[in-house]
Amino acid sequence: MRIALVLLLLIVGATPAAAQTPPPPAQPAAAEPAHHFSGLVFGDYYGFAQHHLPEWQGQQGFWLRRIYFTYDHRLSPQIAMRLRLEMNSNGTLEGGLLTPYVKDAYLKWSFAERHQFTLGIQPSLTFDFGESVWGLRHIEKAPLDLYRVDSSRDPGVTLAGALNEGETIKYQVQFGNDAGHESETDRSKAVRLAMRYETNPGWSLEGVFGEYFRQEDAKRTLAQVFAAYQGSKGRAGFQYSFQKRRAPVGTSDPDVNLDIYSGFGVYHLKPEKTSLFARVDRFDDPCADCGDIDYLPIATNSPFTLIIAGLEYYLHPAVRLSPNIEYVAYSAPAGQALRASNDMALRLTFYWVW
């Protein structure tokens, strides 16, 4: 009996591993969906405590400043496309319905490991990176977009990518119509170039150059430097932008040089819960295009400083409320004593995404 028991134990111990019950196979990782819908809404309850335009003085109420509805489609790991519709309230106090239009419509092809080619209506590289670091587009636009120095979108092509294996040095080259969201109406074009060094998180430094070839030889040249730091406690950035606007041929208008300075800081009192933010922009020259700014028209006859400050509170990771103030302080143009009266807008900004 004892010998039989020993033999049985030897037989069981010698059973090959292959004959034992195999473990269940590991579940494969879920594939990234090829289709994705997303969107955002933001607006304010606003009030103008003071304004240089009488019709804006004392105006208050609700408006939806922006609605996005976005469809992203990935054809393959290398080819993706986006279609985005945008709707805005009328930003000139003239009322009317929110009318949708095409904001983005582009195809992006990733090739050669670290490079991308983009075709269609797409973000202008002039301030795309700086606005992403600012991170508060629902509070206010990036300076070059706000002051109409360049359009936020342009139909065209972009070649972009990283120049080193660590992807800390990046480039972008963009050729477009210089027509905003619209189709081309003339022979003029725009060329934009950007080089950037960045670590994430950490420091970033970007240089941008642009040439805008316009009718009647009214060419515009842009140069910009943007530096920023991003960390767990917050982020800060500073930019200097210069644009030379050549007067059209056949006119007596002088050439115009524009100098714009902007600095901002965002401090997280409690990450993903409460943040403080502030921004100061200085426009050293009268801004001929600033009277057409939606939601905050700025006087065109005086240099000015724009001050933005507020608090952002997260009701949910996708829902925020932000009490904030925008104050425009005007100074007298060179050689003049008169200036526009200052503007002050008080806002409770709401923002949600999905």
pLDDT above 90 covers a percentage of the chain that reads: 78
pLDDT averaged over every residue in the chain:
90
Nearest to 352 by CA among 325, 323, 324, 317: 317
Within-domain flag for 40: no
The pLDDT assigned to 250 comes to 85
Within-domain flag for 17: no
Within-domain flag for 79: yes
Residue 270 has pLDDT above 90, yes or no: yes
Least confident window among 35-44, 63-72, 210-219: 210-219
Within-domain flag for 32: no
pLDDT tier, 13 (very low <50, low <70, confident <90, very high otherwise): very low
C-alpha span between 124 and 273 (Å, rounded): 31
Residue 24 has pLDDT above 80, yes or no: no
pLDDT tier, 112 (very low <50, low <70, confident <90, very high otherwise): confident
pLDDT digits (tens, 9 = 90+) for 299-337: 999 999 999 999 999 999 999 999 999 999 999 887 777
Within-domain flag for 28: no
Task: Give the chain's domain count.
Answer: 1
C-alpha span between 301 and 341 (Å, rounded): 11
Within-domain flag for 211: yes
pLDDT digits (tens, 9 = 90+) for 174-209: 999 988 777 777 788 999 999 999 997 799 999 999
Which residues does residue 72 pair with via DSSP β-bridges, in sequence order?
36, 82
C-alpha span between 161 and 170 (Å, rounded): 6
The pLDDT assigned to 312 comes to 98
Report the CATH number that the domain containing residue 130 is assigned in CATH.
2.40.160.10
- Rounded mean pLDDT of 161-170? 94
The range of the structural domain enclosing residue 146 comes to 51-353
Least confident window among 60-69, 99-108, 212-221: 212-221
Within-domain flag for 221: yes
Which residues does residue 73 pair with via DSSP β-bridges, in sequence order?
35, 81
pLDDT greater at residue 21 or residue 57 = 57
Question: 132 in helix, strand or coil?
Answer: helix
Question: 125 in helix, strand or coil?
Answer: coil
Nearest to 193 by CA among 144, 158, 237, 234: 158
Within-domain flag for 22: no
The pLDDT assigned to 252 comes to 86
Q: Which tokens belong to 240?
A: 């200097």
Length of the chain as a residue count: 354
**In 10 A of CB 17, how many CB atoms?**
6
pLDDT tier, 267 (very low <50, low <70, confident <90, very high otherwise): very high
The pLDDT assigned to 291 comes to 95
The pLDDT assigned to 33 comes to 73
Residue 132 has pLDDT above 80, yes or no: yes
